[in-house]
Amino acid sequence: MKAVIKNRALYEAPVGTEPPPFWIRALLLLTCTGVSFAHGSNDGQKGMGLIMLILVGTVPTAYALNHAITRSQSDDFIAVSQQAANTLSTYVSPNAIIGDAREEVTDYIRTKQFTPNTMLALRQLVSDIGNEIALYGELARIPNDKVRNFRNDMYVASEALRLMKKNQLPTITASDWGILDNYKKHVDASTRFIPGWVKVAVAMALGLGTMIGWKRIVVTVGEKIGKEHLTYGQGAAAEITAMFTIGAADWFGLPVSTTHVLSSGIAGTMAANHSGLQWSTVRNLAMAWVLTLPMSMMLAGFLFWGFRKMF
C-alpha cells in the first residue's frame, strides 16, 4: 500500500477523536465488511453446529430429520435411492451374507475394513431407507418412535459412501460414483441441515457480542500489539489479510479464530512498518493459541468422566 498509495494521511495514527478522511473511512468500511462476512461464515458455523447437536439430542423428533423436505423432493429421493440400490447391486458378491445391515455397515465405519458383506449390507440399507420414505411419503410423516433409527440409518449410509470413495474400496466406475454421490447429496440434505431461525440467532449473537465487547478488542489490537498506535493503512492491510485468510479457511472447511488471524495481521503490519512489537501481548496471544485446545480437551474430558460417574 505504501508503494502504491502515496497519501500520508493513510499512514498516520488517529488524532484524538477526530474521524478519518471520507475516502479512508470508505476504505475501512469496505475492509471491515469483508472481515465481518468472513467472520460470520466461519465462526458462525461453530455456533450453528453446537445448537444443532443440542437440538438433535434433546428434541430428535423435531430436528433429527429435515421436515422442510417437500413431497416432490421426497419422491425424487425415492427414485434416487432405487437408482443407488441398483448400482450397488452390481458390485454385490453372490457369496455375501449379512445379519443386521446397519450393524454390518457400522462395523465397516469403525474398523475401515471393507468386506463383500459390507457391500450387501449397504445395498440393503439404501434400499430400506428408500422403501420407508415411500411408505410414509415425507420425512415429516415418519412416526416419532422411528425418527432416531431412521436418521441413524441415513447417517451410516452416507458415512460409508464417504469412506468408500476416500479409500477407493471397492473399485467403482466414475459413472456409478456419480449416481452414488447424488444419493449421498440427497441423504445429507435430509439430515445435515440448519433451520433459518438458528442461522438468524447465531448471526444476532455474533453481532451483539461484537457490539458489546468491541472496546476491549479495539484497544488491544490498536494499542497493545505494536509500540506505536495502529494507523489506518495498517488496519486496512490487516483486515484485507484477515478477510482472505478466513474466507479461504471457510472455503476449505478449516475452523480458525478471527481474533487470532486479525491480531497476527496487525503484528505483521507493525513489523513491516518497523513500529516494533509489544512482545508481552504477542506472547500472551501465542500462549492462548497453544493452550486453548489441550486445556479445553482436558477440561471437557474431566467433566464428562465426572458426570458419567455421578449419573
Is the per-residue pLDDT at 116 higher than 80?
yes
CA separation (Å) from 70 to 34, 76, 138, 185? 35, 10, 7, 16
pLDDT tier at 199 (50, 70, 90 boundaries)?
Answer: very high
Strand partners, 226: 277
What does the pLDDT look like over 228-280, one tens digit per residue?
Answer: 888 888 989 999 999 999 999 988 888 888 888 888 898 899 888 888 888 88
227/266 Cα distance (integer angstroms): 12
- Give 3-state DSSP helix, strand, coil % of the chain, rounded to 5: 75, 0, 25
Positive or negative, the CA dihedral 87, 89, 92, 96 is: positive
* Residue ranges of domains in the chain: 8-56+195-277, 67-191
Classified as helix, coil or strand, 274 is coil
Indicate the residue type of 116: P
How much is the pLDDT for 222?
Answer: 75
Residue 102 contacts residue 94 (beta carbons within 8 Å): no
Length of the chain: 311
Indicate the residue type of 245: T
pLDDT tier at 155 (50, 70, 90 boundaries)?
Answer: very high
What does the pLDDT look like over 19-65, one tens digit per residue?
Answer: 888 888 898 999 989 998 998 888 888 889 999 989 988 888 888 88
What is the overall mean pLDDT for the chain? 89
Residue 106 contacts residue 156 (beta carbons within 8 Å): yes
How much is the pLDDT for 284?
Answer: 83
232/9 Cα distance (integer angstroms): 8
Q: Going by C-beta distance under 8 Å and a sequence separation of 6 or more, which residues neighbour residue 182?
A: 80, 83, 84
How much is the pLDDT for 108?
Answer: 94
Place of cell 489506518: 232
How much is the pLDDT for 258?
Answer: 83
pLDDT tier at 103 (50, 70, 90 boundaries)?
Answer: very high
Return the percentage of the chain with pLDDT > 90, whole number: 43
84 C-beta neighbours (distance < 10 Å), count: 27
Place of cell 460414483: 177
Mean pLDDT over 197-205 rounds to: 92
How much is the pLDDT for 39?
Answer: 87
How much is the pLDDT for 59?
Answer: 87
How much is the pLDDT for 255?
Answer: 81
How much is the pLDDT for 295?
Answer: 93
Is the per-residue pLDDT at 119 higher than 90?
yes
